[in-house]
């Protein structure tokens, strides 16, 4: 995967998290993951089609998912991840990938994204056969981390 393809995902993440859930981020050290790898408690998977083929997996723990859901729901406290709050977290991921697709399009690279799939649980292993996984840690300035795992051919 071309490293230049990482920047639109970072730019879209920064924009959506700032404007939608009022979170400032910095980017941690980008690294390669080897499949299968363990996931935090929440993983949102969105497929990529077109010039880029693969998937983006957004990993986070339960407290981070609650913060994002609360931000998406105008600051309403989220103590438990019910169906509405899970839907809000999945929509935030969908917005990030939608914005990234727009950035790519403006660069002359057409991609399409699939609807998000949210999975949650303990001791999850994620495998992306035949794809390298580039992990971009998004460090939330108010505390916590979101892992943006980009697996593309």
The CATH number assigned to the domain holding 62 equals 3.40.1550.10
Number of domains in the chain: 1
Tens digit of each residue's pLDDT (9 = 90 or more) over 59-92 = 999 999 999 999 999 888 898 999 999 999 999 9
CA distance 135 to 142: 21
Query: In the predicted model, what is the mean pLDDT of residues 17-40?
Result: 92
Alpha helices (runs of H) in the chain, residue ranges in sequence order? 6-21, 62-72, 83-106
Omega of the bond prior to 36 within 30 degrees of 0, cis?
yes
pLDDT at 35 over 90: no
pLDDT band at 1 (very low <50, low <70, confident <90, very high): low
pLDDT value of position 153 = 75
Instruction: Specify the DSSP element, H or E, that contains 49.
Output: strand 42-50
Question: What residue numbers bound the domain in which 119 lies?
Answer: 3-152
CA distance 80 to 65: 10
Tens-place pLDDT, residues 113-150: 999 999 999 888 898 887 889 999 999 999 999 999 99
């Amino acid at each position: 995967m071309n490293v230049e393809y990482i920047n639109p995902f970072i730019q879209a993440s920064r924009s959506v998290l700032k404007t939608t859930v009022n979170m400032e981020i910095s980017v941690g050290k980008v690294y390669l993951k080897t499949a299968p790898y363990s996931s935090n408690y929440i993983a949102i998977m969105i497929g990529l089609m077109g010039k880029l083929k693969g998937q983006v997996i957004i990993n986070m723990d339960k407290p981070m998912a609650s913060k994002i859901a609360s931000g998406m729901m105008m600051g309403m406290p989220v103590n438990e991840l019910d169906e509405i709050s899970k839907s809000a977290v999945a929509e935030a991921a969908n917005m990030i990938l939608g914005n990234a697709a727009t950035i790519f399009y403006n660069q002359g690279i057409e991609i399409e994204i699939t609807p998000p799939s949210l999975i949650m649980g303990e001791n999850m292993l994620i495998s992306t056969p035949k794809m390298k996984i580039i992990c971009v840690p998004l460090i939330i300035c108010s505390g916590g981390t979101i892992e943006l795992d980009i697996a593309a051919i």
